[in-house]
Structure 1
Amino acid sequence: MLLRDPATWRDVLWLLVDAVAGFVTALLPVALIAYGVEGLVLLAGLWHAVSGAYWYAFIPVSGFGSAVLCAALGAALIALGLVANPALLRAHFHLVRALLAPTREARLEQRVRRLAETRHDAVDDSAAALRRIERDLHDGAQARLVAMGMDLGTALALIEKDPAGAKALLAQARSSSAAALTELRDLVRGIHPPVLAERSLADAVEALALHCCVPVETDIDLPGRYGEPVEAAAYFAISEVLTNAARHAGARRVWLDLHFAPAAGGGGALCVAVTDDGRGGADPSAGSGLRGVERRLAGFDGVLAVSSPPGGPTMVTMEVPAAPAAEPVSSPSGHRR
């Protein structure tokens, strides 16, 4: 199987090429400087010890005059090394990358495999979200609306015989309608927070920090708006991380940094760092909410990294590829709580 793997033959080719070209491009930068220094050392007095029996490059060392020539040649080699060494080192790195970096086909295969995994996770997450919405509607708002309908029917039957009892039932129905409306608003907020549609991601994250049960110090620097799916993914990821810090880490304080990092070729990424002073020991592979965050971000080619040694502190960093909208929206930043 190893002999049929193209990567194996590329490794063999690298061994052969690097043994020659790689050795030269790696050694020559050091050799130029070292050999140039030797010419200066000859002028400094070493020519006395080797006079008549030593050649420096093409110069026979026979006296002070030849030592001066050696020093001049050494200075030229040092200058050449300072100019050419960066190019030689880049050539060495390009050679290694050309032979060892994954091929275009390998990158495409990895990309397809990654997309298949994230698609499967996205389908599972969507199905789970639909089941959650159905359960919340059935157990919450639907039950309250059914009870309200029964109260209104009973009040209608009692309105002539027992006006006081009908009035109490109407008050109860009004209370049920208000509770149902609150539950529906909470449900909608869990699907897509209104503050994201009305304001911005920065404002939504500020609101999360203000409502967190532990003090959160935020540093937010966003140039504008982003795609709705990206903003929603970042919002819910930050919400989950803050919830974990408050409920499970025993944190007394949380620091949240959110900014946009532009890329050289256009676009960029939303970068999030959440640090808490809790007990540490967070592990995304243990089935915690961080695993759900990782799956949510994977649908956008985002990444999540967790540093959480036992005893803390815990730092969760997230990056989501994104591009700002054409018209930036001003938003507050640097809030301290």
Structure 2
Amino acid sequence: MAGTLAAGGRKRAVRAAAELVFARSWGERLIGVLHLMASLVLSALYLLPAAMLAVAAAWIVLRAAGLVRKISERVAQDLAVTLPLGDLVIEGLIFLVLFPPLATLIARLSCAIQRHRLESVFGVTGPGAPVLEMLSTSTGRFRVLGFLFGRDAWTAVVYSTAAGLQGLFSGGITIGLVVYGIAVSIGSFLGLGYLVIDGAAADIARLVTVIVGGLLAAFVGFLLVPLLVGLEVEVARRLLLDGADVRVRRRLLEVQDSRLRMVDAAEAERRRIERDLHDGAQQQLLAVTMTLARARARFDRDPEQARSLLDQAQAEAKEVMAELREVARGLHPRVLTDHGLEAALPVAAGRCPVPVRVDVDLPDRPSRRAEGIGYYVVCEALTNVAKHAAADNVAVRAERVRGNRRDDLLRLTVTDDGAGGAEPDAGTGLYGLWDRVNAVDGALRVHSPVGEGTVLTADIPWEA
């Protein structure tokens, strides 16, 4: 059984890697190449804090070794030890007073640059505590010391070093395969024209081999770009965005941001229900009451007319029941409670004016809370597609993503071929979706380049 699970895990890992490598457009790959080249250039800045600290540590070791040797020599002569204090003080000020705080400041700057790059290019966001806010977390004279030498400062040094080494590795591969391969192919192709006119066949064959090899290297490099970018993003998530203290700070910031939005959303939902009941069911119930009153008044004088009015009241009561079911369906549909997402998602898709293809691959049902949140996410996403996307087709997929032990996820993906460019601030309801998913420690991702459609992915804990 364990071997079967391990094999299944390897298959899923291989499938995920294949999707990452091949399911990317060439425009995205080109952006990735430019990003990795920028990482290579910035790696010098990212590695500078570690280099400065290494130089300071080396100075301490060398100075200590030199002083011990000098002291031992002098002690053998007499007890009066004379040291070059002037040079020692100047070097100490540079390597012990200047280098360490400057290294942590540069590391914090490197983290800020990397965070901005990941957010602006790939939409990977995380909390960046402002300088004044971080300084205010301590009191008195220890504020500056905590900012320069606290845990966040050394974490920044570690991440800056990791990002610098990764930039050298990924950027070097990109330069070596893509840039160098294309440059060699272009140069060889230009030289091929001269050899065709006046050149030996062996030289032409060798040059053609170089061109083919360069193009093949560039092609392999373009295939590897998504993996290299994904590795950089994953390292950033682990070290820069998902540390324990960072998660706590992010959680607090998210709670502050989402609290008022959830209150406003609840109030807006209450007003919607009140409006629906007042304009629909309440008015229809009033009509039923008036019809029954008319039937009662005519019951003795005109029984036939009274029966007709009773039939009318019965029909109106059925309309009220249908109206109330519509209101209740907006809250939690009965089909979801009874049969789960496999039956509820096609019903939600059927109400969308855009053709929707539904693919549900769920071997069993998640928790009721996860089902409710997932159903709401899909309904809201389809509403956004109908209102804003100008799409011709939509695909909805629900699947179970296996994790470690209790870390399984319910993954819902809504893909459309519309205009793209979805913005949370444009009244698309993305903030509401994010709040709902985040309330159970889920994750919501939106990939929406302008003119290329939108892919909305919600990962919800299976046992939420």
Superposition TM-score, scaled by structure 2 size: 0.48
User: Per-residue deviation at 1:101?
Assistant: 7.3
Whole-Å separation in 2 of the counterparts to 1:288 and 1:103: 31
**Counterpart of 1:202 in structure 2: which amino acid?**
E
Question: Match of 1:209?
Answer: 349
> SS of the counterpart of 1:306?
strand
Question: Match of 2:430?
Answer: 290
Whole-Å separation in 2 of the counterparts to 1:131 and 1:229: 24
User: Per-residue deviation at 1:254?
Assistant: 1.1
Match of 1:154 among 277, 289, 294: 294
Task: Report 1:172-211 matches (<5 A).
Answer: 172-211=312-351
**Counterpart of 1:4 in structure 2: which amino acid?**
V
Matched, 1:255 2:384: no
User: Per-residue deviation at 1:180?
Assistant: 0.2
Question: Match of 2:30?
Answer: none
The answer as to whether partners of 1:222 and 1:258 remain within 8 angstroms in 2 is yes
Whole-Å separation in 1 of the counterparts to 2:422 and 2:237: 36
Question: Match of 1:129?
Answer: 269
Task: Report 1:82-161 matches (<5 A).
Answer: 104-161=244-301
Query: Are the structure 2 counterparts of residues 262 and 117 from structure 1 closer, same or farther at C-alpha, using a change threshold of 3 Å?
Result: farther
Query: Are the structure 2 counterparts of residues 191 and 310 from structure 1 closer, same or farther at C-alpha, using a change threshold of 3 Å?
Result: same
Query: Are the structure 2 counterparts of residues 13 and 142 from structure 1 closer, same or farther at C-alpha, using a change threshold of 3 Å?
Result: closer
Whole-Å separation in 2 of the counterparts to 1:97 and 1:216: 34
User: Per-residue deviation at 1:319?
Assistant: 1.6
Whole-Å separation in 2 of the counterparts to 1:182 and 1:279: 36
> SS of the counterpart of 2:444?
strand
User: Per-residue deviation at 1:13?
Assistant: 4.7
Query: Are the structure 2 counterparts of residues 109 and 203 from structure 1 closer, same or farther at C-alpha, using a change threshold of 3 Å?
Result: same
Query: Are the structure 2 counterparts of residues 216 and 172 from structure 1 closer, same or farther at C-alpha, using a change threshold of 3 Å?
Result: same
Query: Are the structure 2 counterparts of residues 225 and 150 from structure 1 closer, same or farther at C-alpha, using a change threshold of 3 Å?
Result: same
> SS of the counterpart of 1:171?
helix
The answer as to whether partners of 1:301 and 1:321 remain within 8 angstroms in 2 is yes
**Counterpart of 2:288 in structure 1: which amino acid?**
M
Whole-Å separation in 2 of the counterparts to 1:273 and 1:320: 11
- Output one character per residue of 1:46-73: Cα deviation in whole Å (capped at 9) or x when no partner: xxxxxxxxxxxxxxxxxxxxxxxxxxxx
Query: Are the structure 2 counterparts of residues 7 and 203 from structure 1 closer, same or farther at C-alpha, using a change threshold of 3 Å?
Result: farther
Matched, 1:313 2:453: yes
Superposition TM-score, scaled by structure 1 size: 0.64
Question: Match of 2:381?
Answer: 241
> SS of the counterpart of 1:4?
helix
Structure having the higher helix fraction is: 2
Whole-Å separation in 1 of the counterparts to 2:266 and 2:346: 27
Aligned-residue CA RMSD in angstroms?
3.4
Question: Unpaired segments of 5 or more residues in structure 1?
Answer: 30-95, 325-337
The answer as to whether partners of 1:251 and 1:278 remain within 8 angstroms in 2 is yes
User: Per-residue deviation at 1:18?
Assistant: 9.7
> SS of the counterpart of 2:346?
helix
User: Per-residue deviation at 1:317?
Assistant: 1.6
> SS of the counterpart of 2:412?
strand
| Range 309-318 or range 226-235, more displaced | 309-318
Query: Are the structure 2 counterparts of residues 102 and 281 from structure 1 closer, same or farther at C-alpha, using a change threshold of 3 Å?
Result: closer
Query: Are the structure 2 counterparts of residues 312 and 97 from structure 1 closer, same or farther at C-alpha, using a change threshold of 3 Å?
Result: closer
Query: Are the structure 2 counterparts of residues 174 and 307 from structure 1 closer, same or farther at C-alpha, using a change threshold of 3 Å?
Result: same
Question: Match of 2:372?
Answer: 232
> SS of the counterpart of 1:300?
coil
> SS of the counterpart of 1:260?
strand
The answer as to whether partners of 1:118 and 1:298 remain within 8 angstroms in 2 is no
Structure having the higher strand fraction is: 1
Matched, 1:171 2:314: no
Q: Return the structure number with greater relative CO, CA threshold 8 A, min gap 6.
A: 1
> SS of the counterpart of 1:248?
helix
**Counterpart of 1:228 in structure 2: which amino acid?**
R
> SS of the counterpart of 2:144?
coil
Question: Unpaired segments of 5 or more residues in structure 2?
Answer: 1-131, 136-142, 170-235
**Counterpart of 1:173 in structure 2: which amino acid?**
A
> SS of the counterpart of 1:264?
coil
**Counterpart of 2:434 in structure 1: which amino acid?**
E
The answer as to whether partners of 1:254 and 1:274 remain within 8 angstroms in 2 is yes
Whole-Å separation in 2 of the counterparts to 1:100 and 1:278: 34
